[in-house]
Structure 1
Amino acid sequence: MIFLSSPMNLLSLDPTQPQGQFWIGVISLLVALISLALSVWFYLRGKQKKVLSYEVLSNASIVNVVKDFGERITVTLDDGEEVQDARILVIQLTHIGNAPIDVNEIFKLRFEFEPESVLRCGIQATNPVGLIDEDDWQHALSIDQAQQRYVELTPLMLNPRDSITMKILIRRRIPLRVTGRITGGSIVEARPMQRFWTRRRLLAGGGLFIAGLLLAQAISPISAFVRGDCAPGSISAGGSSAFADTARAAAKDYQVTCPVATITIQDDSSGKGLSDLKENKIQIANSELPVSRANQAAQIDLDANAIGIIPFVLIVNASVEKVDNLTKDQLRGLYDGSITNWNKVGGPDLKVQVVGRASQSSGTRTAFEQHVIGVNVVLRRDILEVDTTGQVQDTVAKTKGAIGYVDLKTAQDNVSAAKIKLLKMNNAEPTLDSIKNDAYSFWAVEYMYTRKDPGALVKSFISYVQKRVKDEKFYLNYDAINPDVLEKHR
């Protein structure tokens, strides 16, 4: 069953919306398939294996004299008959098909005029030379002696591209009609550009071109189903505010290629996400809490889907000059209240204001306490505690002397506009090498926790996020970290 926020969204053809892009793709695919089928039909319908084409190369009067003086000019035949307006037709007959025509497959191929109009006929040339022996040219064509109405070609074997050029003498200008029958073929009048751009070829080629364009447009949204990267339904994910922007961007892009899915992303804290998962308010809990802590918080049997390594970083207000690095001991002193002025760590004479996450189930706070200052540290009383990663950054940016912690992506995305600067820890930066070497410990494994057997859409979306995060510059590949180092963060 497909769950969507509104039936109208599913049927929308707005190209700026994922649903519209999807249905336009479906329609394009259907039109492409129809165009392809019609192209094939036109091609097969128009294709003839045995086709004789005739063309009048010349239709000229024998006497071409301007009669300025009113002369009466006539042609006298060898039997003494005089003809005033005699004309010679030069006709070329060509096999334009692709299969030989046997001698017994030509029936009564005639070039017809009016009664008593045909005077003489004969072969002018053949291609190839010798197609008809010159001694037999006079027998290859015969006139209807009874009415002198038509000239008939004696049946003969014709291969593709064979041609016969003939001359027919008639009394006056008379319309030509070609009759007869080819077994399994046809007799047609030659048309301009018939050799290549025939009507059927134009129709077939045009149809194939349109089909190709439409298939290219349709392939993106449709192929997601083929790859298994799309499942219908409606789900919600919540939890980590540090991971929320990444999850939200992934959900938006997923719905572009799979618009029959609706994915909502909430952001609060890792612990709140696990609580909502337990109460079936959401289907995915994004969290940096280790598996043991997550199972304890959710109190249900969870599937832990490791997404990647999320690095965290210390940030300070721009007023904290001359401080670019802090040791873990210095950070411990700043957060427990034993260091109250920045001049104690090489900074300006400025009061220290620490900022942290309010929820003890915050994944970022848990990583900070477990891997930076220690879980037994009692935080100073004047700490400013806020609910989300974004609030930590905003508070540090607007508070002189402030220090806080956020994920690396949030910090880097806003370092210029937010009036903050990033600090090293123990002279190490949050890079892949420093994390692999265990020189930088302020990081966590980002998980997407679910219940057991969560459904096709949940599995599909998690798989999509796992592939996507591998290409994100602010996340590290989970598989690239030494198992001994990973074990410390489980």
Structure 2
Amino acid sequence: MNGFPLEIMLAIIGIAVPIMAFVWEFVLVGRKRLGYRVQMDTPVTGEIESVFPGVLPQLRPEGDGAAPELQDLSVVLVRIENNGLTDVDGTDYASPASDQVGLHIHFPHRRVIGMAVTELSDDALGDSLKPGTGIGSREDGQHRVGIVDLPKVPMDRGDHYKILVILQRTAGAGEYPVPVVRAKLKGGRVSETRSRSGVSPKLLGLIGFLVAVIAVQFVVGLNDQDTPDAADCGSGKLTLVGSTAFEPAVRDAATAYAKHCAGTAFAFEFDGSDRGLSRVDEDGKNDPGLLAITDGPKGVGYPNLLPRTLALSLFTMIVNPSVGVHDLSAQQIRDIYAGRVDNWQLVGGPDLPVRVVHRALGSGTRETFRKHVLGDDQPPAPAATSCRTLAATNPPGASFCEAPVTNDMLKTIADLPGSIGYSEYSDAAKTPGVKAVTIDGHRPARDQVLDHTYPFWSVEYAYSNGELPADSPAAAFLRFLTGGTGKDVLRSHGNTPCGELPNPTSCSPEK
């Protein structure tokens, strides 16, 4: 992007954010940290005795084992762990030095019946969890909260212990409220942790952020490579005239160009290659915003018009579906257009009169058809009538008519039984009621043109009246058409940009 190093800024952000997240998580707030996890919170059933044999008698409130009948009991297992970067000692707990208690586990709507330490990562932790060290239980009757007090246990990095508690419901019904650990560390924190078998949401968030940064960098890179720079956008009106066969591709390219160069206003007046050349020859000398697009090179009589090759375009023979013919030899096509074949039976089709449709004289597509398919030895075409008259009268034998532009050709072939014509291939492929016909068994494709087996193709040209000012909208649009996104648009319409051919200068498959 001009004048703004967006890619560099994205790279800096992509590096800085993970570093800042690491410093925040592990140096500033996570250097000293205690975590807790509620690993079990379940009603008492017969399964509890099998999982923790001999533990329930320890938890009964009377030492002789004769306990009063208890109702609605539950068992909770809480893991306390040092999951920070440094050790935690007794002085790190943020409670008065005279207070032995460092942590409190709150059980809302339940009172503690009994408790026991069930697992120590290091036997030395047991010295800090003996009776008299501050470990015990009590009840906040006013708020109906059972509380387990735990001492200021010194814990090395990675140490943990577990507390098993049996409780009785004092209020409410249904699921028990979640136990909560209350404590503070000097220069650190106490927080709930999650099982390490899964992926941390913070880690997922960081990964997602980095993926987003990379994706934005990729898109920005594509845009910088493929779209016109603001300095390369001409400002003003650009009128495009000429070939109706190449019109759809040029219109789509203009739409793509206008998204990035809003200062260019397009006008389209496509009514044939020859008319487009005449328009630019007459009006283009004083109007650098006028371009003619043609199928094939200009003819004689236009000495002031300068060419720019754009792309190799594919053309095809087309027939009405009633013809039932899928392939014609080049000689059969010549015979049909010379009037020597008057019924489709003669070339393998049904008993149906042939209706030959030509483009009007001056059409670039017609000249391409003459040059590449009919050849110079073809006799003059028989006299033509209007296609509308031909459809209404339906005369016997071969009949001829002319279509002035591509859309008229496609509509005539789709509507007129027994008809044959020709058009730009991508337009024909998208038109219902029109069937493409291969020539000598070869289809309209780039590889078949390059190996010289498919004959019906042409070079698309842009013509201006004299040299264009470098900052004109016409010059800027031509640069767009021959590079980046413009080439992609032309390619999407079945055309091959000249730079991709063996001879880019002449835009020819010939080496």
Scaled to the shorter chain, the TM-score interval is 0.5 to 0.7
| Cα distance per residue 1:203-261 (max 9 Å; x no partner) | 74686698699889989976752443366778665432112234445666x48996979
For 2:456, which of 442, 445, 450 is the aligned residue?
442
Q: How far apart in 1 are the matches of 2:455 and 2:128?
A: 103
| Cα distance per residue 1:406-454 (max 9 Å; x no partner) | 223333444x614xx6556567654556534545433212345675745
Q: Are residues 102 and 299 of structure 1, via their aligned partners in 2, closer, same or farther at CA, if it must alter by over 3 Å? A: farther
Q: How far apart in 2 are the matches of 1:140 and 1:258?
A: 74
**SS in structure 1 of the partner of residue 124 of structure 2:** coil
**SS in structure 2 of the partner of residue 365 of structure 1:** helix
Structure 1 residue aligned with 2:369: 368
Structure 2 residue aligned with 1:405: 422
Q: Is the Cα–Cα contact under 8 Å of residues 100 and 134 in structure 2 kept in the other structure?
A: no
Structure 2 residue aligned with 1:229: 227
For 1:417, which of 402, 421, 433 is the aligned residue?
433
Q: How does 1:341-352 map to 2 (within 5 A)?
A: 342=342, 346=346
Percent identity reads 18
CA drift of 1:325 comes to 3.4
State TM-score, norm by structure 1: 0.54
2:339 is the counterpart of 1:357: no
Structure 2 residue aligned with 1:382: 384
Q: Is the Cα–Cα contact under 8 Å of residues 112 and 179 in structure 1 kept in the other structure?
A: no
Q: How far apart in 2 are the matches of 1:179 and 1:402?
A: 90
State TM-score, norm by structure 2: 0.52
Q: Are residues 99 and 267 of structure 1, via their aligned partners in 2, closer, same or farther at CA, if it must alter by over 3 Å? A: farther
Which ranges in structure 1 are unaligned for 5 or more consecutive residues? 1-28, 68-89, 114-122, 143-150, 166-176
- C-alpha RMSD of matched pairs (Å): 6.2
Q: How far apart in 2 are the matches of 1:273 and 1:425?
A: 30
CA drift of 1:364 comes to 0.8
Q: Is the Cα–Cα contact under 8 Å of residues 271 and 297 in structure 1 kept in the other structure?
A: no
Q: Is the Cα–Cα contact under 8 Å of residues 243 and 272 in structure 2 kept in the other structure?
A: yes
Q: Is the Cα–Cα contact under 8 Å of residues 309 and 460 in structure 2 kept in the other structure?
A: no
**SS in structure 2 of the partner of residue 311 of structure 1:** strand
- Match for 1:446: what amino acid? E
**SS in structure 2 of the partner of residue 100 of structure 1:** coil
Q: Is the Cα–Cα contact under 8 Å of residues 90 and 153 in structure 2 kept in the other structure?
A: yes
Q: Are residues 278 and 411 of structure 1, via their aligned partners in 2, closer, same or farther at CA, if it must alter by over 3 Å? A: same
Q: Are residues 317 and 130 of structure 1, via their aligned partners in 2, closer, same or farther at CA, if it must alter by over 3 Å? A: closer
CA drift of 1:479 comes to 7.1
CA drift of 1:97 comes to 2.1
Structure 1 residue aligned with 2:304: 299
Structure 2 residue aligned with 1:99: 86
Structure 2 residue aligned with 1:267: 270
Q: Are residues 181 and 322 of structure 1, via their aligned partners in 2, closer, same or farther at CA, if it must alter by over 3 Å? A: closer
**SS in structure 1 of the partner of residue 369 of structure 2:** helix
Structure 1 residue aligned with 2:317: 314
Q: How far apart in 1 are the matches of 2:306 and 2:364?
A: 19
Q: Are residues 133 and 324 of structure 1, via their aligned partners in 2, closer, same or farther at CA, if it must alter by over 3 Å? A: closer
- Match for 1:369: what amino acid? R
**SS in structure 2 of the partner of residue 346 of structure 1:** helix
**SS in structure 2 of the partner of residue 131 of structure 1:** helix
- Match for 1:370: what amino acid? K
Q: Are residues 209 and 197 of structure 1, via their aligned partners in 2, closer, same or farther at CA, if it must alter by over 3 Å? A: farther
Q: Are residues 126 and 311 of structure 1, via their aligned partners in 2, closer, same or farther at CA, if it must alter by over 3 Å? A: closer
2:296 is the counterpart of 1:289: yes
- Match for 1:358: what amino acid? A
Q: Are residues 100 and 391 of structure 1, via their aligned partners in 2, closer, same or farther at CA, if it must alter by over 3 Å? A: same
Q: How far apart in 1 are the matches of 2:223 and 2:195?
A: 39
Q: How does 1:124-273 map to 2 (within 5 A)?
A: 127-131=120-124, 158-162=156-160, 182=186, 184-186=187-189, 188=190, 194-196=192-194, 204=202, 224-229=222-227, 237-248=240-251, 254=256, 267-273=270-276
Tell me how many residue pairs correspond in the alignment: 388
For 1:466, which of 474, 487, 495 is the aligned residue?
487
- Match for 1:459: what amino acid? R
| Cα distance per residue 1:316-375 (max 9 Å; x no partner) | 55676889636559738845xxx4761699369987664333352x32122123334456
Structure 2 residue aligned with 1:49: 31
Q: How far apart in 2 are the matches of 1:427 and 1:93?
A: 79
Q: Is the Cα–Cα contact under 8 Å of residues 319 and 400 in structure 1 kept in the other structure?
A: yes
Which ranges in structure 2 are unaligned for 5 or more consecutive residues? 1-9, 42-57, 70-76, 103-115, 136-148, 164-180, 386-400
Q: How far apart in 1 are the matches of 2:117 and 2:440?
A: 102
Q: How far apart in 1 are the matches of 2:408 and 2:487?
A: 27
Q: Are residues 431 and 282 of structure 1, via their aligned partners in 2, closer, same or farther at CA, if it must alter by over 3 Å? A: same
CA drift of 1:297 comes to 4.3
Q: Is the Cα–Cα contact under 8 Å of residues 30 and 84 in structure 2 kept in the other structure?
A: yes
Q: How far apart in 2 are the matches of 1:427 and 1:181?
A: 84
Q: How far apart in 2 are the matches of 1:133 and 1:399?
A: 98
CA drift of 1:50 comes to 0.5
Q: Are residues 438 and 382 of structure 1, via their aligned partners in 2, closer, same or farther at CA, if it must alter by over 3 Å? A: same
CA drift of 1:281 comes to 7.8
Q: Are residues 256 and 137 of structure 1, via their aligned partners in 2, closer, same or farther at CA, if it must alter by over 3 Å? A: farther
Q: Are residues 423 and 104 of structure 1, via their aligned partners in 2, closer, same or farther at CA, if it must alter by over 3 Å? A: closer
For 2:410, which of 387, 390, 393 is the aligned residue?
393
- Match for 1:131: what amino acid? A
Q: How far apart in 1 are the matches of 2:294 and 2:478?
A: 16
Q: Are residues 411 and 478 of structure 1, via their aligned partners in 2, closer, same or farther at CA, if it must alter by over 3 Å? A: same
Q: Is the Cα–Cα contact under 8 Å of residues 341 and 349 in structure 1 kept in the other structure?
A: no
CA drift of 1:164 comes to 9.4
Structure 2 residue aligned with 1:325: 328
Higher mean C-alpha displacement, 344-353 vs 242-251: 344-353
Q: How far apart in 1 are the matches of 2:369 and 2:501?
A: 19
